[in-house]
Structure 1
Amino acid sequence: MADTAGTVGPGGAVGAGGTAADGAGTPATPLRKASWRHIGPGIVVAATGVGAGDLVATLIAGSKFGYTLLWAAVIGCLVKISLAEAAGRWHLATGRTLFDGWRSLGSWTTVYFAGYVVVWGFVYGAAAMSSSALPLGALFPDVMDLKLWAVACGLVGLVFVWFNRYAVFEKVMTVLVGVMFVVTVYLAVRVTPHLGDAFAGLVPVLPDGSLIYTLGLIGGVGGTITLAAYGYWVNAKGWKDAGWMKVMRLDNRVAYLTTGIFVVAMLFVGAELLHSSGVALAKGDKGLLDLGTVLEDRYGATTAKVFLIGFFATSFTSLIGVWHGVSLMFADFVAHYRPSLVPSGTPRERSLPFRAYLLWLTFPPIALLFLNQPFGLVIVYGVIGAFFMPFLALTLVWLLNSSRTPREWRNGWLSNGMLATAGLLFIVLCVQQVRELPW
């Protein structure tokens, strides 16, 4: 979703021959041809960003307004493409990480990020484990308590990320995304959508009482700190310079096209299965258990079990994606202040800060599972978390329009328009989210 020039000049430029050139004009890095075989980091970021709560929000929007808000889901995917592309472009064009860019904007970014990853990680760890446990508890009733399922999911995620490099992590994520894709498309076909009504939903309209649901569809699905982690996964894949720009853009677009299919499929299910029958779902992850019950009543136990498997894949990809991606970001954060803790040449995934944050995401939240999230911590988590997406969108606008980015890879009018729109949207959602906190 970028509109930067396809050729680059001095200082990291691409000449007429399609190679990146150094400051002396010597060919340095050829632009790789965009190929499907390179796809990977985008699938990881899209799968991590789409959690069970996002799918519930989409289902509820479909159950309340039918296909009317389909256009908002499409715009939401375009917004995420723009944000992830901008993060990936910063990493490839500058050779610097996103945290390095934030740090160049002033010490306030470091203070915010430090507070964010500590509090957010503590509360998110408990939420991710609980979300992954819900479908397992439904698939295997009476095996063990739901909290124990949650602990097991957290420990499995810890062990998996601790002992595996990015290549294995990407392959497992891709398999789980395949499960999510097959299940959601199967459900969408199973409920027999009315395609005429669906196409009509591409026309932007706002029914009475739909504003918050519309903003949620545009800004919520796939919109988390993992968008910022995309550049780190791009580097982990081995894409280190502007020569990979075309590959990164293809990867990103395919990923969010896949996300769009998830969202549209769940909107179809909400519109056909819930809207017509007037069924209401519980908010949050438990709403998907309600949907499982509706599916079993309508289509039988097999369809319900298939859905629960997809529910687990959706939740567990978010868990291990955060365990890996945000730990990479934390390791980079520490490397800027305590380089001795991340020695040169040591893979980030083997560094002490990476593994320390993995432990932080796992063990303190286990205690939180049994405390049912203390009231004050939920307030702090909500406030800090609500500000992250505006922070990401607006700092990317700042970085990609400044001399920190080589001129040839700075934002054009389209990128600026999309990022500015995203920033304003997320500010509105931030205010709404803060207002809805249980003060």
Structure 2
Amino acid sequence: MPKALSIRAGLGSILFWSVISAAFIGPGSVTACAMAGSRFGLDLLWVLTFATFGTVWLQEAASRITLTTGHDLGQVIRQSYSGRTGVWVAWALFLAIFLGCAAYQAGNILGAVAGLSLLTGVPGTYLTVVVGLVCVALLWVGSTQHLANFLGVIVFAMGGAFVYVAFGAPVTPVALAKALVVPSLPSGSLLLVNGLIGTTIVPYNLFFGSSISPNQSLSDMRLGIWVAVILGGIISVVLLLAGLLIPGDFSYPHMAVVLAESLGTWAGSLFAFGLFAAGFASSLTAPLAAAITAQSLLGIPKNSPQFRLIWLAVLATGVGFGLANATPIPVIVAVQAINGILLPFVTVFLFVAVNNRRLLGEHVNSLSQNIAMASVVLVTAILGGWNVWLAIVGS
């Protein structure tokens, strides 16, 4: 009997933490991963290995803080600093997360509208207004969870179709295994590298996941995160492999054609609807995550006017990009890269918090956990700083 209960708890934990993998399998992942395969072949596959394990290590640390202390990540960070320093740290982190969520939202809306337009043929401007109004209505009444779960299922179904298509990619097992672990940085790939990192290790997920951590054991939490995130990483890998089959420049119609030729016309429609579902589900998550982060770091009450103003501002950013008829693919890649560049700033504070023995006691990071987290912080800081430097020099 205890074994059955343990198995049931483990499966429940995996299903619960799938919200994290579903959150990073959005338009950004579809675009960045497929574009990486289309432009650079297998050369950037190692980035997905790094980013997937990085997500596990960072998300486990953030959730361990909540399960150990009873407070979420933002509350623990705020308690770790006193006086004016605590206020400055809380506001700096909130602004970083807010900026990241607003950037993500631009890609989310553009991705959702691109999928819906591909499916229906309706002009993007009208669809942007409809998507924006539906998001406002759902967020205002707080009825987002069941819809987001349903859309997440659609996204995973789309991922399943890509798994089948990926088997047709011209890749040997040896080449695939090598590309997963051997770093390579082709000329002109740095922005896309940061985009792949930013779309997988989502900074706001650290606060969002920490704030929704259920009352479960550390072992169940770790099992759930490991399995759910690895599954999300596998979907990212097959998206990149499917990108190998795209002729010429990457585009959403080209991706739909690849699926339709492999599986039938229905698969092209599934891709279009899956792209919409991924964008729309993330369009609900990103604004809500920004407001929840404000609640955690700044103590803003849930569903207060300030709480709603924050998610409205994030949502308005995405709608603004949609109404401006911004080209979705370049914008989506750029905003994922912005979040990859912001990531080290957020993870430094997580690193400090998870080593605070006064708060966590025996549950502070072990040496191996510190090495793993430090590697994520260091690599993302180097790549992000390099990208910023090239942008400055280029301008």
What TM-score does the superposition give when structure 2 sets the normalisation length?
Answer: 0.81
Q: Displacement, 1:42?
A: 2.2
* Alpha-carbon displacement from aligned partner over 1:314-349 (angstroms, at most 9, x marks no partner): 2223222213323222223342xx6xxx3xxxxx4x
AA of the residue aligned to 2:217: W
Secondary structure at 1:405 match in 2: helix
RMSD (Å), alpha carbons:
3.5
| Paired position in structure 2 for 1:199 | 177
| Paired position in structure 1 for 2:114 | 134
* Alpha-carbon displacement from aligned partner over 1:370-394 (angstroms, at most 9, x marks no partner): 3468xxxx9xx89985653102221
Matches within 5 A, 1:49-60: 49-60=24-35
Structure 2 gap ranges (5+): 1-5, 327-331
AA of the residue aligned to 1:410: V
Q: Displacement, 1:81?
A: 0.5
Work out whether residues 48 and 318 of structure 1, in 8 Å CA contact, stay in contact via their aligned partners in 2: yes
| Paired position in structure 2 for 1:223 | 201
Q: 1:115 to 1:101 in 2, by over 3 A?
A: same
| Paired position in structure 2 for 1:184 | 162
Q: Aligned pair count? A: 377
Q: Which residue, out of 349, 352, 362, partners 2:315?
A: 362
Q: Displacement, 1:253?
A: 0.9
| Paired position in structure 2 for 1:322 | 286
Q: Which residue, out of 381, 384, 391, partners 1:436?
A: 391
Matches within 5 A, 1:282-431: 287-296=251-260, 301-335=265-299, 342=301, 348=302, 350-363=303-316, 365-371=318-324, 385=339, 387-431=341-385
Matches within 5 A, 1:93-242: 93-103=68-78, 104-105=80-81, 106=85, 107-141=87-121, 143=122, 145-164=123-142, 168=146, 171-172=149-150, 174-189=152-167, 191=169, 194-206=172-184, 208-209=186-187, 212=190, 215-216=193-194, 219-235=197-213, 238-239=214-215
Q: Quick one: distance in 1 between partners of 2:196 and 2:167?
A: 24
Work out whether residues 70 and 201 of structure 1, in 8 Å CA contact, stay in contact via their aligned partners in 2: yes
Work out whether residues 159 and 239 of structure 2, in 8 Å CA contact, stay in contact via their aligned partners in 1: no
| Paired position in structure 2 for 1:4 | none
Q: Which residue, out of 25, 28, 51, partners 1:76?
A: 51
Work out whether residues 180 and 310 of structure 1, in 8 Å CA contact, stay in contact via their aligned partners in 2: yes
Q: Quick one: distance in 2 between partners of 1:406 and 1:153?
A: 43
* Alpha-carbon displacement from aligned partner over 1:81-129 (angstroms, at most 9, x marks no partner): 0011111111111222222233234333223134335544545433321
Q: Which shifted more, 260-269 or 109-118? A: 109-118
Residue 89 (structure 1) aligned with residue 61 (structure 2): no
Q: Quick one: distance in 2 between partners of 1:244 and 1:163?
A: 32
Q: Which structure has the greater CA radius of gyration?
A: 1
Q: Quick one: distance in 2 between partners of 1:171 and 1:201?
A: 33
Q: Which shifted more, 83-92 or 168-177? A: 168-177
Secondary structure at 2:377 match in 1: helix
AA of the residue aligned to 1:428: I
Q: Which has the higher contact order (CA 8 A, sep 6+)?
A: 2
Work out whether residues 120 and 384 of structure 1, in 8 Å CA contact, stay in contact via their aligned partners in 2: yes
Q: 1:92 to 1:126 in 2, by over 3 A?
A: same
Q: 1:303 to 1:47 in 2, by over 3 A?
A: same
Work out whether residues 187 and 269 of structure 1, in 8 Å CA contact, stay in contact via their aligned partners in 2: yes
Q: Quick one: distance in 2 between partners of 1:267 and 1:250?
A: 26
* Alpha-carbon displacement from aligned partner over 1:373-420 (angstroms, at most 9, x marks no partner): 8xxxx9xx8998565310222111111112343221100112111111
Work out whether residues 401 and 410 of structure 1, in 8 Å CA contact, stay in contact via their aligned partners in 2: yes
Work out whether residues 387 and 430 of structure 1, in 8 Å CA contact, stay in contact via their aligned partners in 2: yes
Q: Displacement, 1:194?
A: 4.0
Q: 1:332 to 1:365 in 2, by over 3 A?
A: same
* Alpha-carbon displacement from aligned partner over 1:275-331 (angstroms, at most 9, x marks no partner): xx5x222xxxxx334422455567654332222222223222322221332322222
AA of the residue aligned to 1:245: L
Q: Quick one: distance in 2 between partners of 1:111 and 1:179?
A: 39
Secondary structure at 1:47 match in 2: helix
Q: 1:80 to 1:123 in 2, by over 3 A?
A: closer
Q: Quick one: distance in 2 between partners of 1:244 and 1:412?
A: 18
Query: Which one has the bigger helix percentage?
Result: 2
AA of the residue aligned to 2:346: L
Q: 1:233 to 1:192 in 2, by over 3 A?
A: farther
Q: Quick one: distance in 2 between partners of 1:314 and 1:382?
A: 15
Residue 280 (structure 1) aligned with residue 249 (structure 2): yes
Residue 260 (structure 1) aligned with residue 233 (structure 2): yes
| Paired position in structure 1 for 2:329 | none
Q: Quick one: distance in 1 between partners of 2:152 and 2:267?
A: 23
Structure 1 gap ranges (5+): 1-30, 282-286, 343-347
AA of the residue aligned to 1:280: D
Secondary structure at 1:60 match in 2: helix
Secondary structure at 1:280 match in 2: coil
Q: 1:127 to 1:212 in 2, by over 3 A?
A: closer
Work out whether residues 72 and 217 of structure 1, in 8 Å CA contact, stay in contact via their aligned partners in 2: no
Secondary structure at 2:357 match in 1: coil
Q: Which residue, out of 10, 18, 21, partners 1:46?
A: 21
| Paired position in structure 2 for 1:67 | 42
Q: Percent identity?
A: 23
